[in-house]
Structure 1
């Protein structure tokens, strides 16, 4: 039994005629007769009997007719709902953004996405890369922006920004006027870092360990603008991405190229490789990728 056969039965009942039902459905009478015959053979009971020129339903036909209305109506409703999903008229997306990337790169893209697909709803969650990757992996989030690289066996991804960190110093700092500063030159400084659930936290510590010192952490935060304010107040030094440094007031802090080693800030959008991604989430991946250049700036 399939939905097409039920639709044929209902149309025959509506017109009390195989011929008129076939005309209404724009099919031939042999086609509709064969479909009903196949259904009767499958069920093992007749659905229609002819009484003179009148077409009547059998008991089984009445039972089928009573249920078929609801089945066909539900199927049509399902088709409409699926059409809304596949045409992005409805749907829900759960997106994870780290504070730096969210503030710097996504407001404009999110606004354009909302204007393009007003029926889609978006749930945004801010957190560090470590937590966001965990939430994408366990299905709490559909997609997330994290620090790359990630486990390619678990995640699909695309990269949209590839920068380096710069040293952020108080203007009166002895190193503030230099063009470059080696990481080891900061070994006696108090560091203001992102919290441990931010991938940059561990990456900076590993880089410091690599040149022979353990950074003295004075404060940790989840907000890059608060870290900036702390440096401006002379509370310590920080390491922030190039694009974020471009947003800082040069009268309040100095930013200097960091070398030996250069610490990368490589961001990408990730989603689970082996999990179903909704139509809405897939369109977000396509849309956001199309609107970000390799430098992470919205394309025109």
Structure 2
């Protein structure tokens, strides 16, 4: 039995005529008669009383009619649902975002996507890049936005932002009026760091170790705005991405480029290479690829 059997059966039952049903379905009468006969043989029951040109549903046919209506209706709903998903009219996307990325500039990206696809829903999860990668790897997230580098053997990725980290100091700091500061000049400074589940924690530590010193970390936080507030209270120095620094109050903190070496802050969208992505998730990837990040 397939959907054609049910469709032909319902049309014969509705019109009470093989001839009229065949005309309505644009097939020959022998074809529809044979299809109904095959269905009866498969089920081992009679579906219609045949009295010359008049036909009526049997008791079994009545039961079949009720169930066939439900089945075909469900199939039509499924077809519509799949068409909606393929046209990105519906869908759900689970996205992981580090806090500084999510609060810094991603709301506009999400808003623009929602304007194009208003029926797609989101689950936005804020975690550090390391945790986001773990959750995509285990399948609890579809897509993530992370600080590079990432595991190229596991994830597809494309870069959306290429910037550097900037030094953030109190206006009274001895480096506040400098045009740039070399990383090794910070060996005696008290650092306010991101927590260990953030890639930047490891990135800054590694850069300092390569210059011959262990950074003196006095506070750790998962929030970039808390780090900037701590610096503005003259409790230590911080290092934040350029994009975040643009929103800081220039009267309360000073922003200075770090050189020799500079520390990159490259942001990428990632997803697993070996996992199916919904049509909505693919649309999100296409949207972020085409987005004008330089103007955001």
Secondary structure at the counterpart of residue 27 of structure 2: coil
* Structure 2 Cα separation of the partners of residues 292 and 273 of structure 1: 25
* Structure 1 Cα separation of the partners of residues 289 and 75 of structure 2: 35
* Structure 1 Cα separation of the partners of residues 60 and 218 of structure 2: 81
* Structure 1 Cα separation of the partners of residues 30 and 285 of structure 2: 48
**TM superposition shift of 1:236:** 1.0
* Structure 1 Cα separation of the partners of residues 27 and 225 of structure 2: 68
* Structure 2 Cα separation of the partners of residues 26 and 288 of structure 1: 47
Are residues 64 and 250 of structure 1, via their aligned partners in 2, closer, same or farther at CA, if it must alter by over 3 Å?
same
Q: Is the 8 A contact 1:190 1:216 kept in 2?
A: yes
Q: Deviations over 1:161-215 (max 9, x none)?
A: 0111111122222222222211110000000111111110011101111110000
C-alpha RMSD of matched pairs (Å): 2.2
* Structure 2 Cα separation of the partners of residues 287 and 63 of structure 1: 49
**TM superposition shift of 1:70:** 2.1
Secondary structure at the counterpart of residue 8 of structure 1: helix
* Structure 2 Cα separation of the partners of residues 107 and 53 of structure 1: 67
Is the counterpart of residue 289 in structure 1 residue 266 in structure 2? no
Alignment correspondent of 1:67? 67
Is the counterpart of residue 26 in structure 1 residue 38 in structure 2? no
Q: Deviations over 1:203-237 (max 9, x none)?
A: 11011111100000011111111111111221111
Structure 2 unmatched ranges of 5 or more: none
Is the counterpart of residue 77 in structure 1 residue 77 in structure 2? yes
Secondary structure at the counterpart of residue 107 of structure 1: helix
Q: Is the 8 A contact 2:17 2:53 kept in 1?
A: no
Alignment correspondent of 1:118? 118
* Structure 2 Cα separation of the partners of residues 30 and 239 of structure 1: 81
Alignment correspondent of 2:178? 178
Q: Is the 8 A contact 1:160 1:292 kept in 2?
A: no
* Structure 2 Cα separation of the partners of residues 18 and 156 of structure 1: 56
**TM superposition shift of 1:36:** 3.5
Q: Is the 8 A contact 1:184 1:208 kept in 2?
A: yes
Alignment correspondent of 1:198? 198
Are residues 6 and 181 of structure 1, via their aligned partners in 2, closer, same or farther at CA, if it must alter by over 3 Å?
same
**TM superposition shift of 1:249:** 2.1
**TM superposition shift of 1:69:** 2.1
* Structure 2 Cα separation of the partners of residues 126 and 31 of structure 1: 60
Q: Deviations over 1:242-300 (max 9, x none)?
A: 1112222222222221112111101111122222222222222222222243x4x44xx
* Structure 2 Cα separation of the partners of residues 37 and 124 of structure 1: 55
Greater shift in the superposed pair: 43-52 or 22-31: 43-52
Greater shift in the superposed pair: 131-140 or 36-45: 36-45
Q: Is the 8 A contact 2:156 2:270 kept in 1?
A: yes
* Structure 1 Cα separation of the partners of residues 39 and 285 of structure 2: 45
* Structure 2 Cα separation of the partners of residues 218 and 82 of structure 1: 54
Secondary structure at the counterpart of residue 159 of structure 2: strand
Alignment correspondent of 1:93? 93
Greater shift in the superposed pair: 31-40 or 266-275: 31-40
Secondary structure at the counterpart of residue 27 of structure 1: coil
Using the size of structure 2 for normalisation, the TM-score is 0.91
**TM superposition shift of 1:104:** 2.2
Number of aligned positions between the proteins: 296
Using the size of structure 1 for normalisation, the TM-score is 0.89
Are residues 153 and 48 of structure 1, via their aligned partners in 2, closer, same or farther at CA, if it must alter by over 3 Å?
farther
* Structure 2 Cα separation of the partners of residues 157 and 10 of structure 1: 51
Q: Is the 8 A contact 2:47 2:57 kept in 1?
A: yes
Are residues 83 and 176 of structure 1, via their aligned partners in 2, closer, same or farther at CA, if it must alter by over 3 Å?
same
Secondary structure at the counterpart of residue 274 of structure 1: coil
